[in-house]
Amino acid sequence: MKPSQNFFLLVDKPAGFTSFDVCAKLRKPLGIKRIGHTGTLDPFATGLLVIAVGKCTKLIPLFEKDIKTYRTQILLGKTSETLDPESEIIDCHNGYVPCLEEIEKLLKEKFTGNITQIPP
């Protein structure tokens, strides 16, 4: 790759790879020296990973203010050590199980709009 080539790559990141892994796998075969991503996806997450190459890496901070949308699946009543699907289940709740309508109402009330997420 010539140093004058500057571009973005849109990668559908598969589960099992870190965002850094994706950059590393592209760097050598494409002959890329300057490469970076615009936001980290957890190794278990899949989805769009925007990769900046060459001088486009200077534009990465502009993506930090972009709106991101997440789609998830949740498992109610179970807790893992790391609060994600990558560790062992350490607790199961066998009490009341809310119906779908109750869950949808709660999600709409508490998880709609701008949300500042604080890591556990």
pLDDT tens by residue, the chain, 120 residues:
555 689 999 999 999 999 999 999 999 888 888 999 998 888 999 999 999 999 999 999 998 777 777 788 888 888 999 888 888 999 998 888 899 999 999 989 988 888 887 776
For residue 74, what are the CA distances in angstroms to 35, 83, 103, 107, 110?
A: 33, 11, 11, 12, 15
Give residue 2's pLDDT: 58
Give residue 3's pLDDT: 52
Whole-number CA gyration radius for the chain: 19
Active site residue 42: yes
Domain residue ranges in the chain: 7-63, 78-110
pTM for the model stands at 0.71
Q: Which of 21, 42, 66, 91 is catalytic?
A: 42
Angle at alpha carbon of residue 37, lines to 83 and 25, rounded to 5°: 95
